[in-house]
């Protein structure tokens, strides 16, 4: 069985069943599913909730709904239908046949997102591991009496029992191999982190729920810098980009996979592995849709995940809450929110609109402030003819001030990471 990305940029229709229990409304759940579909570049042409009385073993949905959606799918020439639920292989196949479109269930969709976002070797391995575990569970589940009744026409295009056994064994072998590799990768992880630290810029990571506005904020903050963006990062990965902060310091902004409600258990490890940058980040921006009815519950979930990554959500030096979408508030609601924000003191969130750019200057100032907390200021006097020295400082430090003094010398004030201070001092003999 080939495991890998199996989607291309296509049209999709997203369908969510009525949400089961929990504190999230069906509409919010549908919105999340649409956000997830967009995260893999699907162009969502239709979305809707399918109300269910009971789940049909063969097609999940009832006949009327299957026909109705089939007509819509044909009308829009839809290529992919996302079902925000767990489908059995039989249900998936029957729906694909009925609709003439590929059907992706929730786990499949999330796996696709993680597959695209995994940046590290460990991340890719974890995603592949999750994918194989998913496949394996489907092989087991497809071998039901239902399959047999249908003449053994199974998930793999008609395998007999021995074929299923072979596939199962192959998958198990591959899983075992990945587990061994993962052990090795984990051991060298620390080494990687150490070399990563040599990237000359601090890392600022965006975290938050799906649809909170991370990607919009990411684009907004990096747009002005597209040309200036460090080419290495610009080409390496579309979710890592350099930004310039006030005073000219550079940082790398990292967009992440959003937090997902009811993450299937088998995906938890893969999800964590896609969050490597967050663990390493110097500053973490927790982006919240401040206008969302579930904003409190969402923030709570995000904090839980951060804790699971050994990040203290109350570490104000490192974490900044960004309350997004304030453009949607009326003046009263906004004033009230500003009040609440003000009262949080040190832990004050920054209110922004990633859509219209409001508050972004304040956000950049806050980021620069957090990054500067542990940095050292150094005053230097240079010969104005020392062009190489001046450009070295521009490359290796933040130049806070540069003036000609009364003796015709160049007085510079620079700010550096503590571990670089000695190097700067040695180089300029102070
Ligand atoms: N009104 C408003 N909508 C926003 C804002 N930021 C993002 N959005 C919308 O929220 C949706 C999700 O945004 P996205 O950046 O994809 O969220 P992500 O899942 O966190 O990356 C999109 O439809 C955005 O246009 C904002 O500041 N105001
Ligand atoms: Mg996004």
**DSSP labels for 104-167?**
EEHHHHHHHHHHHH--SHHHHHHHHHHHHHHHHHHHHHHSSHHHHHTTS--TTTS--HHHHHHH
Strands of 376-382's sheet in order across? 376-382, 410-416, 398-404
Q: What pLDDT was estimated at residue 148?
A: 44
Backbone angles phi, psi at 213, to 5 degrees: 115, 20
131 lines ligand 1 (CB under 6 A): no
Residue 247 makes CB contacts below 8 A (sequence gap 6+) with 368, 398, 399, 400, 415
User: Which of 14, 213, 330 should be mutated for ligand 1, with most atoms under 8 A from CB?
Assistant: 213
Does residue 167 contact residue 1 with C-beta atoms inside 8 Å? yes
Q: Residue 201: which pLDDT band, with cuts at 50, 70 and 90?
A: confident
The pLDDT of residue 319 is 94
Q: How far is the CA of 250 from the centre of ligand 2 (A)?
A: 22
Query: Ligand 2 centroid to 43 CA: how many Å?
Result: 14
Q: 318: exposed, middle or buried (C-beta count within 10 Å: 0-12, 13-18, 19+)?
A: middle
* 302 φ, ψ (degrees, to nearest 5): -65, -40
Ligand closest to CA 285: 1
Measured distance CA(71)–CA(182) in Å, rounded: 46
| CA-closest candidate to residue 221, choices 327, 366, 110, 335 | 366
Relative to the alpha carbon of 210, which ligand is closest?
Answer: 1
What is the C-alpha to C-alpha distance for residues 391 and 271, in angstroms, rounded to an integer?
41
Listed residues: CB within 5 A of ion ligand 2: 214-215
Mutate to test the pocket of ligand 1, among 31, 205, 211, 302 (most ligand atoms within 8 A of CB): 211
Output the six-digit token pair for 298. Answer: 């969402």
Nearest bound ligand to CA 355?
Answer: 1
288 C-beta closer than 6 A to ligand 1: no
* Cα(208) to centroid(ligand 1), Å: 12
Ligand 1: does its nearest atom lie under 6 Å from the Cβ of 258? Answer: yes
Confidence of residue 163 (pLDDT cuts 50, 70, 90): low
- Please work out whether the CB of residue 82 comes within 6 Å of at least one atom of ligand 1: no
Task: Give CB contacts under 8 A, 24+ apart, made by 159-168.
Answer: 164/139, 167/1, 167/139, 168/136, 168/139, 168/140
> Which range is least confidently modeled, 102-116, 182-196, 295-309?
182-196
Tell me which DSSP letter residue 331 carries: H
Distance 328 CA to ligand 1 centre (A): 11
Among 71-75, 125-129, 197-201, 311-315, which stretch is predicted with the lowest mean pLDDT?
A: 197-201
Residue 324 CA, ligand 1 centroid: distance in Å = 8
Are 106 and 83 in contact by the 8 Å Cβ rule? The answer is yes
Q: Is 328 in the pocket of ligand 1 (CB under 6 A)?
A: yes
Listed range (170-184, 189-203, 281-295) with the worst mean pLDDT:
189-203
**Ligand 2 centroid to 260 CA: how many Å?**
11
**Whose alpha carbon is nearest atom 24 of ligand 1?**
213
pTM listed for this prediction: 0.73
Is residue 413 within 8 Å of residue 401, measured between CB atoms?
yes
- Distance from C-alpha of 399 to C-alpha of 124, rounded to nearest angstrom: 39
CA distance 175 to 194: 29
Closest alpha carbon to 83 in 114, 127, 46, 117: 46
pLDDT of residue 114: 86
The two tokens of residue 122 are 């460990």
Which band of pLDDT confidence, cut at 50, 70 and 90, is reported for residue 9? very low
């Amino acid at each position: 069985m080939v495991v890998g990305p199996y989607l291309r940029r296509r049209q999709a229709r997203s369908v969510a069943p009525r949400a089961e229990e929990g504190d999230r409304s069906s509409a919010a759940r549908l919105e999340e599913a649409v956000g997830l579909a967009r995260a893999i570049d699907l162009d969502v042409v239709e979305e809707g909730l399918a109300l269910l009385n009971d789940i049909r073993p063969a097609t999940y949905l009832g006949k009327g709904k299957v026909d109705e959606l089939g007509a819509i799918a044909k009308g829009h020439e839809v290529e992919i239908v996302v079902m925000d639920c767990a489908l059995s292989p039989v249900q998936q196949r029957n729906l694909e046949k009925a609709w003439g479109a590929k059907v992706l269930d929730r786990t499949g969709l999330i796996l696709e997102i993680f597959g695209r976002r995994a940046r590290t070797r460990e991340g890719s391995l974890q995603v592949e591991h999750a994918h194989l575990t998913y496949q394996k569970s489907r092989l087991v589940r497809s071998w039901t009496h239902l399959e047999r009744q249908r003449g053994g026409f199974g998930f793999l295009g008609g395998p007999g029992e021995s074929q299923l056994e072979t596939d199962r064994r192959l998958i198990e072998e591959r899983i075992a191999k990945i587990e061994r590799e993962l052990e090795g990768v984990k051991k060298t992880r620390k080494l990687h982190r150490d070399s990563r630290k040599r990237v000359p810029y601090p890392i600022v990571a965006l975290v938050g729920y799906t649809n909170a506005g991370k990607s919009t904020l990411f684009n907004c903050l990096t747009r002005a810098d597209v040309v200036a963006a460090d080419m290495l990062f610009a080409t390496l990965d579309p979710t890592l980009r350099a930004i310039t902060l006030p005073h000219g310091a550079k940082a790398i902004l990292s967009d992440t996979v959003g937090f997902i409600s009811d993450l299937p258990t088998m995906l938890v490890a893969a999800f964590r592995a896609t969050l490597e940058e967050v663990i390493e980040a110097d500053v973490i921006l927790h982006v919240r849709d401040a206008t969302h009815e579930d904003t409190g519950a969402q923030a709570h979930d995000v904090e839980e995940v951060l804790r699971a990554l050994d990040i203290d959500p109350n570490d104000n030096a490192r974490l900044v809450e960004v309350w997004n979408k304030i453009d949607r508030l009326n003046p009263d609601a906004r004033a009230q929110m500003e009040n609440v924000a003000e009262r949080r003191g040190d832990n004050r969130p920054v209110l922004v609109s990633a859509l219209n750019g409001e508050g972004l200057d304040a956000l950049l100032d806050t980021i620069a402030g957090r990054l500067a907390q542990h940095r050292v200021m150094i005053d230097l006097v240079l010969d104005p003819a020392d062009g190489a020295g001046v450009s070295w400082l521009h490359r290796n430090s933040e130049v806070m001030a540069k003036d000609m003094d009364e003796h015709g010398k160049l007085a510079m004030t620079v700010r550096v990471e503590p571990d670089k201070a000695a190097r700067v001092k040695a180089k300029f003999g102070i």
